[in-house]
Amino acid sequence: MSKILTTIPARFDGIHVQLDVAVKLEPNTRLLVTILDEEISNEALVWRAMKASEAAFARVWDNEEDAVYDRL
């Protein structure tokens, strides 16, 4: 994956976290998991929120000042 931070929808089936979209992950890939409140049940709302946040995350994560950390 070429992006530093990518958000995808997923669900917990009681045993495993199931990704709702196909994503190629290498073994031991580090992930962040956000638990959504049950009241947020409108999937379209979740997708819109994720899409709306992409530009903000890109500005925060993709800047010259923090680029030094990419080389560590």
Q: How does pLDDT run across 12-52, given as a tens digit for each residue?
A: 999 999 999 898 889 998 888 888 776 655 667 777 787 88
Instruction: Assess whether pLDDT exceeds 90 at residue 7.
Output: no
* Residue-range domain boundaries for the chain: 10-70
- CA dihedral sign of residues 31, 37, 42, 44: negative
- Do the strands 17-19 and 10-12 form a parallel or antiparallel pair, or are they unpaired? antiparallel
Contact call for residues 33 and 19 (beta carbons, < 8 A): no
Residue 17 C-alpha from the chain's centroid: 14
DSSP letter for each residue of 8-24: --EEE-SSSEEESS---
**pLDDT for res 47:** 77
Place of tokens 């000042």: 65
